[in-house]
Amino acid sequence: MKASDELRQLTLRGLQAFADEGLGFFTRRIAQQEGVLAIGTDPSEWWEGYKGITDVFKAQSEAMQGLSIVRANPQAYVEGSVGWAATQAAIRMPDGSEFPIRLTIVYHQEDGEWKVVQWHGSVGVSNEENFGEDIPT
């Protein structure tokens, strides 16, 4: 694999567009092929397929108007027609409150454009909180 400034910039642009422009830029970048998947931070957030993903992202975007994603500094890599990006960032709500988020995005090149085939957002939870004991990290 090699580092990809193109995917790094695309990831930053997508995160910014999500906050600034709504979903237009973002939805154009979701692949429409079978197997597309998005996983969110809530245990019930597991969406498959273009329509399922874009419908729920639209509803969430409308419910959380005014949010922004800050302090993103993605690393991105590519190998042939597949690439990925990962970042730790924060979601800033309209009232100024923030919460940390970790994102990974898998891209696939289709007709010369990078498309998202998998998106995963998570909120880190300590091993002690999750497993009931302190496990080495």
The pair of three-digit structure tokens given for residue 27, joined into one six-digit string: 């939805």
**Residue span of the structural domain in which 64 resides:** 2-131
Model confidence band, residue 21 (pLDDT cutoffs 50, 70, 90): low
Q: Is residue 136 part of a domain?
A: no
Number of domains forming the structure of the chain: 1
Q: Is residue 96 part of a domain?
A: yes
Q: Is residue 137 part of a domain?
A: no
Q: Which long-range contacts (CB under 8 A, 24 or more apart) does 20-24 make?
A: 22/61, 23/54, 23/57, 23/58, 23/61
pTM of the model: 0.91
- Which CATH number do you get for residue 52? 3.10.450.50
Model confidence band, residue 130 (pLDDT cutoffs 50, 70, 90): confident
What's the pLDDT tens digit per position in 49-90?
999 999 998 888 888 888 889 999 999 999 999 999 999 999
